[in-house]
Amino acid sequence: MPSHYCRANSSRQYLEPVFQTMAQLYKEYVSKCELDSLKCLSRRVFDSVFLKQNLSFFHPKKDQCDVCCGHKVGNINDTEIAIHRDRKDKARKEKDTDKELAIEGKTCHVFTQDVQSVKLAPYLQASAIYYKTKLSVHNFTMCNLSTREACCYWFDESNGSLKASVFASCIVDQLQIILKRKLLPVILYSDGCCAQNRNSILSNALLRLSIDKKVIITQKFIEKGHTQMECDSVHSAIECRLKGKEIYLPSQYANITKTARDNPMPYESRLLEFSFFTNFSKDLIYKTIRPGRKFGDPTVTDLRGLKYKPDGTIWYSLNFDEPLQPLPQPPMKITNIKPLEELPKIFSERLPISQRKYKDLQDLKAVIPSNCHSYYDELPYKN
């Protein structure tokens, strides 16, 4: 399966969570060789081949911070950890304050957003499935802190990639729905992942929506390593529902999501097709959201907040307790900006998977019900 948390700067592939250690993997390999009457490699050679293929073990994101752990073992000094903890506390306080405003005063909409760890289809208990590559399935979740509503946008790799425009399409869709109900300022909380949340493509999408709806939209970024948010509880509830269940098709993830919360307000779940996603990377109003111009100036990763205004400008802050100021780059004139509905779609057809993955999925039809076979037969693949 592909990298999830490091996809912006890593091409490494990960073994699915069935295997946790090299010893466990090697034991399974030896058993497979004995079953097929083959001579197995030594552990040393096996480890060497594993590394050469740029493989690693998949470990779900933990609620542990690299900076805090580094300080514990003496690799981070007291000054650095003090700055880090101060940023963490300010971010938490900021979110709590905005959440109270949304719940009590009804003066704004506040959302948290994140992507769930990669899912696979099919996902079964059969041992034959260990040796086959499977379809990656993704869930982007937005949680409304004032209403406790949550919407999960599910899509598989044949219908959408992990591009910024894909996530921007989900966010804009959800905000358009909520702004139709009540036109109030919007505040979005997320981690600082640049490929997903902190980039010029998403910023331009939110700015277009701000201009279109004549409403202020604000992005705020939680401190790295301390990004636990309300949307994580949605993912946790889904994981609990998935325990012990066999998945034959991506659509089952979307259906199970609807049953993950038993109270009168079930999670909304949508299964997306390629035609849903808008291309926000064209005709950019701001070419970059970097808050500096020259070497040594602040960069995108230093941003803690972005505010999008209906007059077509973006304002930024580097700390939660600092006043906002406009980005130094000049924006496009507001009279030249295309409305949202005129922007093109990203994909004109479904995305092809690799030929090897297609073959593996065909082999896996032997362990899934026959009424699911046509879905895998119709998957596009590269020759």
The tens digit of pLDDT for each residue in 291-335 reads 988 888 899 989 999 999 999 999 999 998 889 999 998 888 777
Average pLDDT score over the chain = 87
Instruction: Look up residue 104 and give its two tokens.
Output: 């009590």
- What number of H helices and E strands is found in the chain? 10, 12
Q: Which DSSP symbol is given to 337?
A: P
Q: Which pLDDT belongs to residue 25? A: 87
Mean pLDDT of 374-383: 93
Domain residue ranges in the chain: 13-57, 79-342
Higher per-residue pLDDT: 87 or 246:
246
User: What pLDDT, on the 0 to 100 scale, is given for residue 61?
Assistant: 54
**Ordered DSSP codes for 182-250:** ----EEEEE---TTTTSSHHHHHHHHHHHHHHT--EEEEEPPTT----HHHHHHHHHHHHHTT--B-ST
Q: Look up residue 350 and give its two tokens.
A: 């479904």
pLDDT at 6 over 70: no
Cβ atoms of 361 and 157 closer than 8 Å:
no
What is residue 294's predicted lDDT score, i.e. its pLDDT?
84
User: What pLDDT is stored for residue 10 in this prediction?
Assistant: 53
Please give the share of the chain, as a percent, with pLDDT higher than 90: 53
pLDDT band of 41, cuts 50, 70, 90: very high
Q: Are 28 and 130 in contact (CB under 8 A)?
A: yes
Per-residue confidence band for 383, with pLDDT thresholds at 50, 70 and 90: confident
Whole-number pLDDT of residue 3? 55
Q: What is the pLDDT of residues 119-168, one digit of tens each?
A: 999 988 766 677 788 999 999 999 999 888 999 999 999 999 999 999 99
The pLDDT value recorded for residue 354 is 93
What per-residue confidence (pLDDT) applies to 17? Answer: 66
Asked whether residue 2 carries a pLDDT value surpassing 70, the answer given is: no
User: What is the pLDDT, as a whole number, of residue 59?
Assistant: 61
What local confidence, expressed as pLDDT, does residue 381 receive?
Answer: 94
What is the pLDDT at residue 5? Answer: 46
